[in-house]
């Protein structure tokens, strides 16, 4: 008998305790779509579509429409598949890949997450271990926790840095190219290094905010502060920098759709790829880029678009499934989460395979 599945959708919204911003805009609230996928035995799988307005390529309306359209035919076929998926990870992996036909990236991420979460519940198996089996991920599980990078603001940088370091974080991240101005951003970096020295790794994210005529000069000035890398410094359409004085990382540029080749001009000066499943087209698409990063001997960092706890748990599971990473992941707690970090398996500045009760 085919497994019967039922899908429920709910829109949710919350004001952020502190707005988050990049070089392009600020967000004072987050809205998302929660997918609840239930089987006829009472098991429940959850997924989340949370496109970030002005950053993601899709909208919440598009994500909701894509999921609703998929449900008209997809529920029955997935019900049949999940009945036998435990012994057929290759078939399940291939079926997950078919979700790439959905036009909304966040909808693909949400559906993959809900389907895998449901199967994990049915098997009484941690989601990250199911992911390892489905995608045939080899290597060791993280035995001592995965380091995370904590985003801090310019307005309260020293206090937030002190708090993060006290909580065990050893990598901090700052946005640059923001409304506070480049001179103020340099002053923030100077204060941080003067007070804390090089006791932490520091990465920057420009979100394509540096104009062509100032980018080289800005990066040369930033290089004085022992920067791990700068994400996406150049404005869209700008010529590549011939001799970038700092390692770079790709984020927005990864959404161009073409496969990264060794001689790809996007990779000039690049050290790392920033992987965000909800904008890259889901888990399957992200794993393809992850494998490409390894082939090209690039570091990789999993990150978020300020999802709530459901989406965040899926990202954490993927990080754990991939195992030890070369750099800290961008998965530290943020303003859109409505739960204690310990309940997500985050404590001592790291992500762990087991969540614990908050003290």
pLDDT in tens, 89-121: 888 888 888 898 898 999 999 999 999 999 999
| Residue found under tokens 């909580």 | 167
Strands in 197-329 per DSSP E: 201-205, 227-231, 248-250, 270-275, 299-302
- The DSSP 8-state label assigned to residue 260 in this structure reads P
What pLDDT shows up at residue 279? Answer: 95
What pLDDT shows up at residue 2? Answer: 66
What residues does 31 pair with on adjacent strands? 13
Measured distance CA(313)–CA(332) in Å, rounded: 12
Q: State how far the alpha carbon of 193 is from the alpha carbons of 147, 150, 167, 330, in Å.
A: 21, 16, 19, 21
**Cβ neighbours for 244, distance < 8 A, ≥ 6 positions apart:** 216, 219, 233, 268, 269
DSSP calls for 11-44: EEEEEEEEEEE-SS-EEEEEEEEEEEEEETTS-E
* pLDDT tens string 34-90: 999 999 899 999 999 999 999 999 999 999 999 999 999 888 888 878 776 555 788
- Expressed in percent and rounded to 5, the helix, strand and coil fractions of the chain are 40, 20, 35
What pLDDT shows up at residue 100? Answer: 87
Query: Is domain 146-351 given the CATH code 3.40.190.10 in the classification?
Result: no
**Cβ neighbours for 80, distance < 8 A, ≥ 6 positions apart:** 2, 3
Domain map of the chain by residue range?
5-134, 146-351
Beta carbons within 10 angstroms of residue 270's beta carbon: 20
* pLDDT tens string 15-28: 988 888 877 788 99
What does the pLDDT profile of the chain (359 residues) look like in tens digits? 567 899 999 999 999 888 888 777 889 999 999 999 999 899 999 999 999 999 999 999 999 999 999 999 888 888 878 776 555 788 888 888 889 889 899 999 999 999 999 999 998 999 999 999 999 987 777 767 999 999 999 999 999 999 999 999 999 999 999 989 999 999 999 999 999 999 999 999 999 999 999 999 999 999 999 999 999 999 988 888 989 999 999 999 998 666 888 888 889 999 999 999 999 999 999 999 999 999 999 999 999 999 999 999 999 999 999 999 999 999 998 878 878 888 899 999 999 998 775 44
Radius of gyration of the chain (CA): 20
Tokens representing 285 are 């698409």
**Cβ neighbours for 352, distance < 8 A, ≥ 6 positions apart:** 142, 145, 146, 345, 346
- CATH class of the 5-134 domain in this structure: alpha beta
């Amino acid at each position: 008998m085919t497994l019967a599945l039922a899908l429920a959708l709910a829109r949710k919204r919350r004001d952020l305790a502190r707005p988050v911003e990049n070089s392009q805009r600020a967000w004072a609230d987050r809205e998302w779509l929660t997918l609840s996928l239930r089987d006829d035995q009472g098991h429940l799988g959850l997924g989340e579509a949370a496109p970030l307005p002005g950053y993601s390529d899709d909208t919440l309306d598009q994500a909701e429409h894509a999921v609703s359209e998929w449900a008209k035919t997809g529920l029955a076929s997935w019900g049949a598949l999940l009945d036998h998926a435990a012994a057929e990870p290759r078939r399940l992996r291939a079926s997950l890949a078919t979700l790439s036909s959905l036009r909304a990236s966040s909808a693909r991420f949400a559906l993959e997450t809900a389907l895998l979460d449901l199967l994990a519940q049915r098997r009484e198996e941690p989601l990250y271990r199911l992911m390892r089996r489905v995608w045939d991920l080899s290597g060791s599980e993280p035995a001592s926790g995965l380091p995370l990078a904590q985003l801090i603001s310019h307005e309260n940088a020293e206090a937030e840095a002190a708090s993060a370091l006290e909580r065990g974080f050893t990598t901090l991240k700052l946005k640059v190219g923001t409304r506070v101005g480049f001179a103020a951003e340099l002053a923030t970096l100077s204060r941080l290094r003067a007070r804390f020295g090089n006791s932490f790794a520091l990465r920057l994210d420009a979100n394509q905010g540096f104009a062509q005529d100032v980018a080289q000069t800005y990066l040369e000035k930033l290089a004085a502060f022992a920067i791990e890398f700068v994400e996406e410094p150049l404005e869209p359409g700008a010529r590549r920098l011939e001799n970038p004085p700092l390692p770079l990382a790709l984020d927005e540029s990864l959404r161009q759709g073409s496969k990264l080749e060794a001689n790809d001009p996007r990779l000039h000066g690049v050290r790392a790829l920033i992987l965000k499943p909800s904008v890259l087209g889901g888990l399957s698409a992200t794993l393809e880029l992850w494998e490409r990063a390894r082939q090209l001997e690039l570091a990789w960092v999993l990150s978020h678009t300020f999802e709530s706890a459901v989406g965040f748990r899926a990202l954490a599971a993927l990080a754990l499934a991939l195992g030890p990473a070369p750099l800290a992941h961008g998965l530290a707690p943020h303003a859109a989460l409505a739960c204690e970090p310990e309940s997500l398996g985050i404590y001592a500045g790291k992500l762990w395979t087991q969540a614990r009760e908050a003290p």
